[in-house]
Structure 1
Amino acid sequence: MPTRTTRRAGRLTVALALTLAACTLSAAPADGDPRPHTANAAAALPPDDFYVPPASLPEGRPGDVIRSRKVDPGTPTPRALADTWQVMYRSTDALGRPHAVTATVLVPKGGTPATRPIVGWGPGTQGPAFRCTPSRMIAKGALYEQWVINAMLKEGYAVAVPDYEGYRPGPRTTYMVGKSLGPALIDAVRAAQRLPAAGLSADAPVAFRGYSQGGGAALWAGEFQADYAPELDLKGIVAGGVPGNLMEVALPLNGRPGSGFLFYALIGLDHAYPELKFRDVLNDAGRAVVADLETGGCALEMINKYGNKPLSAYVTRSPLVDAPWVARYTENTLGTENTPGATPKIKVPVFQYHATQDALVEPNQADALHKVYCAQGVPLTWKTYDTTGRPPISDHLRPIQAANAEAMTYLADRFANRPATPDC
């Protein structure tokens, strides 16, 4: 007889699967994409040497294209809407070192590419395994956010989608490390502009957009842009479900449905910062989990297999209060680069939104972030979406669908140079 815990896990799995399918298929009759796109669809993806970085990076600047290839996305709508390339490009890691990142560039068919705005879309959590790589998900037709990309393509926007750092055979992804996410998203846009076949303009108006991990990437890109990529004509940022303060996001996850995401974040920080030595505090079970996740773990596996398990099951002692860890997650906290009254790092209008009840990304820390930005003078619009009564995990995913119309209007207004109406 199934236990109460087993029944709860089963309901949670079904709720997530249905929510992912609903997000992807909400416009299915119009889009012509009748298949649910989940991370499990990646299981059949073969090895691919395209993702192996060169032994020595070629000389160049962040955003320079190292290699590219034309691809056909795995579902009919993006195939019909856009010409699509996978690219490998130079970027900058969390320690300021040059490295290679991959991405997908989608350019609407027809018209003049040089006149198209560009949206850098930060994908949400896919998982640590190579098979979960966002560009591979797009190629397979398994990216659960593909419907959002399709909506932007329909509006005539080119879209650049980074894979973030470390997606390659033998992956070393730096999940939730903002100092890596921001440059990866910025440089995906630069790579799209520098890809000759795409025909996009170096002077194109640009926006950053994303949800969850991708919402964090969008705001990190915004904080980096003025110093790191001042040549970009950045018009605005749309960021939802933002994990701005890693510690405040991590603590409520421990032993709860999203505990697999906490464990993955620790893996990501460890990959970005070698001095953390996560392996030194892992027990046998923890080492087995890391190997399992990096071999085959995508988002659903992190929930199905590792939800509701405490960190103490995998470590001999918690690393969360160790000084090196504190230093690294503190420097990867959004909004800490400024003091009130200083010139804000983000100089363009921002639309930030969040669920009122969010089992994955603690809503109070997002509310605190928007208030910090307001105090710094960022022209920000803040909105919450009531998810009271929704199952865990699906409450986190709901706003990406609920906010899409407003997000699209916000982008259109920024690209049309209409004045923003911040509500700080």
Structure 2
Amino acid sequence: MRRLRSTLAATAVAAAALLVGAPTVAAAPAAPAAPDTVDMGDVFGPFVLDTFRDGRIAPPEQWRPRHPVTDPWFQAPPVADLAPGTLLKARPATVQVYGVQPAHVRGYQLMYVTTDFDGSRVVSTGILMIPEDGTAPQDRKLIGYSEANDSLGPGCMPSAQWTGTDQDDPSLFSALGPVAQMFGNGWAVMMSDTANDGDPAPNGFSIGQFSGAATLDGLRAAIALPEAEFERDVPIGIYGIAGGGVAAGFAAEKQASYAPELDVVGTVLQAMVIDSATFERKADGGIGAGFVFANSLGYAARYPEIDLDRELTPLGKQVADLFNRTCQQTYLLMPFMPLSALYTHGRPADNPAFARAYAENRMGQQAPKAPVLITSCRDDFLVPYSDVENLIAAYRAGGTDVTVEPSHCGVTDVLTDPYRVGTEMLGMQNVDWFVGKFEETTR
């Protein structure tokens, strides 16, 4: 009971820090942590506390920023003849989360060229955030952070979230702890939208062949930004959890051949969908049914052979229309809905129209060159752990140095150590692994 009270207190402290500032945190006791569990002090370190102390509450006129769809900055120029990673435009952006504008963090919204799954040139946007902590340019590290974001609609991606839009998105909340840890280490964070977030067309977030390239090209664009002052060979870590784990995983797999000039020291992957077919068969009709349906719609957004007018039931068309216009929190409103109620031919995993899309975007087709840490939970009720084991085996067979440290998410874990489960579900235990990898590059 004492540990539970401490856990709840720590959670309340974290929330208070986000809303009213750091002095509350400094005065409150942190929850005791197991030796291998992230401590609140690792998150709310001196730099992060200073960002709150010296930050401000956003003025009312900035509480509802302009939506990307109506913002002319998001209008993309022709890019067919430009190289992937080309920085098209950039602008300073005020970082704003839950109405708080933290101090000492520079933000830039970027638009850049990337490669679609079919090899064509397309545009993606993203946000680069740099802690102003006195770190010299030659000592700066860079993280390519792929959020747990499965949104189909526009205005739902990191460049909007971290500037005050889509503030109720769970992927924003889930990133706060790890990003705070990264800022505390002096690392810059680049988040690709893996889309042009101002494009009203549905986002093909499921397509790892695209999101992996967009993640790597976002890092290229960040390095090309003069104001960021990155060294050309800046050490890079790639981090992805849940939906972002697909983008990060494909980025890791593609990096050696697609962006060999990037000095990637390692990649962290957790809770990612490795194979959409097995994911569907396990999670169809369960509590995450909305996300299962959205995952299939992400493929339909880009693969021309998937004709939703033909494939969807009347109910499926109504739900798809809603999902394609909104952010992922909408999916939470549709638990336990079977795919058979939404698709005329049953599960997409058993439908030839989806076969190419699912096969081309199954993880494990290439082995990453840089080391990989995989921390998916054995008790995940959405993604089969056998898929994780198969991915580990495929990577190791290809020569990848893979570390496996499963996170805790089982019922017993939740009842006996909810603090640990909470921090690990957010991926906060993974950040320290990068510390060691970055240290290896400076020896």
- Equivalences for residues 331-342 of structure 1 within 5 A: 331-337=360-366
* CA drift at 1:267: 1.1
1:414 and 2:434 are equivalent in the alignment = no
Partner Cα separation in structure 2 for residue 152 and residue 45 of structure 1: 28
**Once the two structures are superposed, what CA deviation does each residue of 1:156-192 show, in whole Å capped at 9, x if it has no partner?**
1111100012532413211221101110110111010
Q: How much is the aligned-residue C-alpha RMSD, in angstroms?
A: 3.0
**Once the two structures are superposed, what CA deviation does each residue of 1:248-288 show, in whole Å capped at 9, x if it has no partner?**
11212211111111111111111221122233211221111
Partner Cα separation in structure 1 for residue 156 and residue 13 of structure 2: 18
SS at match of 1:289: helix
- Equivalences for residues 271-420 of structure 1 within 5 A: 271-296=301-326, 298-304=327-333, 306-318=334-346, 319-337=348-366, 345-389=367-411, 390=414, 398=422, 400-401=424-425, 403-405=427-429, 407-417=430-440
Task: Show structure 1 runs of 4+ deviating over 6 A.
Answer: 21-24
Partner Cα separation in structure 2 for residue 69 and residue 146 of structure 1: 23
> Measured at CA, do residues 380 and 399 of structure 1 come closer, stay the same or move farther in structure 2, by a change above 3 Å?
farther
Which of 246, 250, 253 is 1:223 aligned to?
Answer: 253
* CA drift at 1:376: 2.3
> Measured at CA, do residues 81 and 239 of structure 1 come closer, stay the same or move farther in structure 2, by a change above 3 Å?
farther
Q: Which residue of 2 aligns with 1:97?
A: 120
- Equivalences for residues 261-272 of structure 1 within 5 A: 261-272=291-302
Partner Cα separation in structure 1 for residue 370 and residue 243 of structure 2: 20
Partner Cα separation in structure 2 for residue 121 and residue 232 of structure 1: 15
Q: Which residue of 2 aligns with 1:136?
A: 160
- Equivalences for residues 148-163 of structure 1 within 5 A: 148-163=178-193
**Once the two structures are superposed, what CA deviation does each residue of 1:127-147 show, in whole Å capped at 9, x if it has no partner?**
222131221111117322133
Partner Cα separation in structure 2 for residue 91 and residue 332 of structure 1: 17
Partner Cα separation in structure 1 for residue 307 and residue 196 of structure 2: 17
Asked if 2 retains the 8 angstrom alpha-carbon contact of 1:208 and 1:218, the reply is yes
Asked if 1 retains the 8 angstrom alpha-carbon contact of 2:266 and 2:434, the reply is yes
> Measured at CA, do residues 100 and 418 of structure 1 come closer, stay the same or move farther in structure 2, by a change above 3 Å?
closer
* CA drift at 1:363: 2.5
Asked if 2 retains the 8 angstrom alpha-carbon contact of 1:81 and 1:154, the reply is no
SS at match of 1:101: strand
Please tell me the residue identity of whatever aligns with 1:168.
G
Partner Cα separation in structure 2 for residue 125 and residue 24 of structure 1: 22
* CA drift at 1:78: 7.1
Which structure 2 segments of 5+ residues have no match?
A: 1-7, 19-24, 26-43, 54-62
1:119 and 2:148 are equivalent in the alignment = no
Which of 224, 234, 244 is 2:264 aligned to?
Answer: 234
* CA drift at 1:369: 1.2
Asked if 2 retains the 8 angstrom alpha-carbon contact of 1:165 and 1:180, the reply is no
Partner Cα separation in structure 1 for residue 103 and residue 440 of structure 2: 29
SS at match of 1:127: coil
TM-score, normalised relative to structure 1: 0.82
Please tell me the residue identity of whatever aligns with 1:288.
Q
Partner Cα separation in structure 2 for residue 158 and residue 77 of structure 1: 19
1:200 and 2:230 are equivalent in the alignment = yes
**Once the two structures are superposed, what CA deviation does each residue of 1:343-369 show, in whole Å capped at 9, x if it has no partner?**
xx3111111111222233333312221
* CA drift at 1:27: 7.3
> Measured at CA, do residues 161 and 199 of structure 1 come closer, stay the same or move farther in structure 2, by a change above 3 Å?
same
Partner Cα separation in structure 1 for residue 104 and residue 310 of structure 2: 49
- Equivalences for residues 35-184 of structure 1 within 5 A: 46=67, 47-54=70-77, 56-57=78-79, 59-75=81-97, 79-109=102-132, 110-140=134-164, 142=167, 143-144=172-173, 145-184=175-214
Q: Which segment drifts farther, 121-130 or 97-106?
A: 121-130
Q: Which residue of 2 aligns with 1:186?
A: 216
SS at match of 2:274: coil
Q: Which segment drifts farther, 370-379 or 61-70?
A: 370-379
SS at match of 2:387: helix
Partner Cα separation in structure 1 for residue 287 and residue 355 of structure 2: 24
Partner Cα separation in structure 1 for residue 426 and residue 299 of structure 2: 31
Please tell me the residue identity of whatever aligns with 2:105.
A
> Measured at CA, do residues 131 and 376 of structure 1 come closer, stay the same or move farther in structure 2, by a change above 3 Å?
same
* CA drift at 1:372: 2.1
SS at match of 1:207: strand
SS at match of 2:301: helix
Partner Cα separation in structure 2 for residue 72 and residue 361 of structure 1: 36
Matched-pair identity in %: 25
Please tell me the residue identity of whatever aligns with 1:323.
P
> Measured at CA, do residues 58 and 311 of structure 1 come closer, stay the same or move farther in structure 2, by a change above 3 Å?
closer
Partner Cα separation in structure 1 for residue 426 and residue 342 of structure 2: 37
SS at match of 2:163: helix
Please tell me the residue identity of whatever aligns with 1:270.
A
SS at match of 2:376: strand
Q: Aligned pairs, how many? A: 382
